Structure formats: C-alpha cells, structure tokens
Amino acid sequence: MMRIHNSLSGHKEPLETLEPGHVRMYVCGMTVYDFCHLGHARAMVVFDMVARYLRATGWRVTMVRNVTDIDDKIIKRAAETGTDPDSIARTYTDAMHEDTDALGLAPPDAEPRATAHIGEIIAMIERLVTGGYGYAPGNGDVYFAVSRFEAYGRLSGKRLADLRAGERVAVDEAKDDPLDFVLWKAAKPGEPAWDSPWGRGRPGWHIECSAMSTHCLGDTFDIHGGGMDLKFPHHENEIAQSEAATGHPFVRYWMHNGFVTIDDEKMAKSLGNFLTIRDVLAVHRAETVRYFILNSHYRSPLAYSGPQLDAAASALSRLYQALRGHAPAAPATDTDFETRFHAAMADDFNTPGAIAVLFDLAREINRLADAEPARAASLAGLMVELGDTIGLLQTDPAAFFQDDAGQGPDAADIEQAIVRRREAREQRDFAEADRIRDELAAAGVTLEDGPEGTTWRRSS
C-alpha cells in the first residue's frame, strides 16, 4: 500500500483516490518572469518522479502543472526591460520548457496558463462574492474575507489571532481585515487588464490556481504538490477560496518538497543566491542533477554545493560501472532487491532508500560478473528496470561514460588519439603510447585495454 505524508494531517496516510486506480494531481508551476533555478528544478524533478513511479506501478495519473503568466513580478520585469508582460511571459515559458526538456522531464498532461482561464477565474470570484466570502470595497479590487472561512489555517497550523498580532490596517487600506487577500486587482495605467463585473483588472495570484486546478481536475482531486514555501499563504488561501466557492473538500493529499539551501539559506531569487538550471547543466549532466535531488528525501532540506554535485556524479558513475559489459537480459524476478526497492518507494516515496537498494544490486552484479555472468546480466536488467521507475539509469552505459556534459575533449578527438596510440604500440614506440594515454588521463579520459581492443570513459 502506497503511503503519502499528508501536510494537511501531518501524518502518512494510505493513498486512496477518489476514482480507484486514478490519481488526479496538480502541481504549482512557474511564475514566468525569469529563468528557473535549482530550487524550481527540485519541485519539477520530485513531482515528475511521483507521477513516473505511480504510472510504473499501475496507477493512471493525470498530472496538471500550471503556468502563471500574469503577475506583479512579470509586470515589473517588463517595465525594467522596456518590453511588455506578454513578451516576458512567452520568453520565459519557452525557457522553462527548454529546461524541463533538458532535465528529461515528462510533460504534464495539461499545462493551463492563467491568462487562458480569466473566465473561470471571474466566475469563481463571483461565486465567492455571492456567497459572502468575497467583497468589493468599490475601488475595483475584490478581496477574500478570511474571517468568514472558519477552517482557515488548518494546513499551515496558523491561528488567525496569532497572524493578526502586530498587524494593523493602514489609513488608506481598503481591506476590512489585514489578513484578507486580493482576488481581483483593479487595473493600473499600462498594465494588462480584462473586463469584469468590478471593472477592468486582473486576477490575484492565489485565485488563479484554484480556478485552473478545479477546471482541469474537478472540485475535489487527489494530490496537490508544491514547494514548502507555498504552504502559507498560497496553499492556505487556495483551500479557503476553493472550498468556499464549491462547497466541497478541495484536496485529499497535500505534498510539499523541502527547500534547496545554499550557505544555509533557502535558494531564492529574492535573496540573489540562486543558480539557474542552465548554470548547473553547463557543468553537470541532467541525470547527475536528478540523482542529486532524489538522493535526499523530498521533504527534507537539500543543501547545494559544488562538491555535493561532484559526489552525485561519482555515485551515479558507480551504478553505471556495474552495468557496463552486460548484454541486455530479462530482468530477474521475485528478488529481495525488488521487494525492498518498492517497499522504500511505498513509504512516502523514499527515494534515498530505493537508491540504496540500487547500490546493493550493483555490488551483487560486480560480485557475480565473472562467476555467474548470466545471473549478473539478469540483475543488471532488474537494476535498469527499477531505475526507470524513478528516472535513473536509462542511458547506455558506454554512452554514459563517453558523455562529456560539455567538458573535456570531444569523442572524435579521443578516438583519433586511440588510433595514434595503437599505431605507436604496433611500432613499439611505447614512450609515445604512454604519452598519449597520460595526456588523455590529464584531460579526464581513462583508457581501458581489453581482448577486443581499447575502450574509453570519462573519469567521474
């Protein structure tokens, strides 16, 4: 039985979906005003892994990941660069897709954009106003009355009295309560705007996700995912406005991935301490980044450093080294390795535990490689099969060791050097042959001589 830590209850709970065998999942996507950073990559990889593993184990999954393409940050970036918000949104949506493709992520089943769902957003706000949960003070804005929703704070564990401590309403503030949040913003000169019952304006950030998720998945769906930083106020506000508008429970299971930290601080654009996905992929292959992310439990903090990525590259190389030289074979079945791997994954997607099983498999493959090559090959097949369920070990091992991730001499130059070395050895010029080998080694290329000739791999 798959068990998931539900942020709403604070406990691990069996995954019991509304429709047996079908998981409906919504993941908060990007606000497209800049390049995605490694913190975004963590959320992307984590929920790609969740969907991938569930599908691999027989679940039907409908995954929705939105794009926030209208927001204060987008408008600010457009003003700073002398362009328009739509151009900013399109540019960075394209960049996001390039990043997700580079990371090898499966596309979501649906990717709604906020600007394509203005009608649904306005309709939801109208229901909130009619039901007494929303109010329009007459300045073109519309707010959600937090005090009207009795369950407010149940996700984050925050109490309204504590949130109000130290707060006060400014003299010119139109809100009835400092905790009320905006559903619709009146248009300012030069900003994108749409017609509404309250005048021209645009949606607030929180209402966008409520409208898009319920439009795609229904009033109630199974899993809502996102980063820990979204738990409050974004997800708390989503619950309040969604349940107030529909009268139904919003989400059954809330999943939140931990922060990526750098120098003990959360990686964030607002702090200026972030590395873009492009920065990282210029140095490390995508699978190394995925391994680095999955080798920590998704709910725990993930500390970034260059040495940590290097260690991930080395560890991944050890797994691939165990697969080298084994002809494709049918995966071994009914093994303790398989049982332990799936037990780890069923325990709230415990990927570090699952990866530990892959290393146990690698050690057993290495032990049997000479004595029982057929058994070693079948275990290698199992290792590849299990790795596939979380998006690892899907590259041909020979190609893995020859992929430079943008570093070192290219493959053609290496092959030419090997030819020159072979010719030198045939001419008994061993000093020249050794010089070529040492020159390649200095460039991070290891030569391996065998009965069938010389192969090469890049050093980890």
**Structural contact between residues 386 and 357, judged by C-beta atoms closer than 8 angstroms:** yes
Query: What pLDDT score was predicted for residue 328?
Result: 84
Query: What pLDDT score was predicted for residue 207?
Result: 98
Query: What pLDDT score was predicted for residue 169?
Result: 46
Number of CB atoms found within 10 A of residue 451's CB: 4
Residues paired with residue 162 on neighbouring β-strands, in sequence order: none
pTM: 0.88
Q: Would the annotation count 216 as a binding residue?
A: no
Centroid of chain to Cα 43: 3
Token reading at 447: 């030569």
Q: Determine the Cα–Cα distance for residues 93 and 35; give it in Å rounded to an integer.
A: 9
Query: What pLDDT score was predicted for residue 182?
Result: 97
Question: Is the CA virtual torsion 58, 255, 63, 298 positive or negative?
Answer: negative
Q: Which residues contact 334 (CB under 8 A, 6 or more apart)?
A: none
Q: Would the annotation count 73 as a binding residue?
A: no
Residue 197, amino acid: P
Query: What pLDDT score was predicted for residue 380?
Result: 98
Half-sphere exposure of 188 (CA within 13 A, CB side): 6
Long-range contacts of 71-77 (CB under 8 A, 24+ apart): 71/31, 71/33, 71/114, 71/205, 73/31, 73/33, 74/31, 74/32, 74/33, 75/191, 75/192, 76/33, 77/33, 77/34
Q: Would the annotation count 269 as a binding residue?
A: yes
pLDDT in single tens digits along all 460 residues of the chain: 999 999 999 999 999 999 999 999 999 999 999 999 999 999 999 999 999 999 999 999 999 999 999 999 999 999 999 999 999 999 999 999 999 999 999 999 999 999 999 999 999 999 999 999 999 999 999 999 999 999 999 999 999 888 877 555 454 478 999 999 999 999 999 999 999 999 999 999 999 999 999 999 999 999 999 999 999 999 999 999 999 999 999 999 999 999 998 877 776 666 666 799 999 999 899 999 999 999 999 999 999 988 999 999 999 999 999 999 898 899 999 999 999 999 999 999 999 999 999 999 999 999 999 999 999 999 999 999 999 999 999 999 989 988 765 566 777 777 788 888 988 887 888 888 888 888 887 777 888 787 667 877 776 5
Q: Determine the Cα–Cα distance for residues 447 and 425; give it in Å rounded to an integer.
A: 14
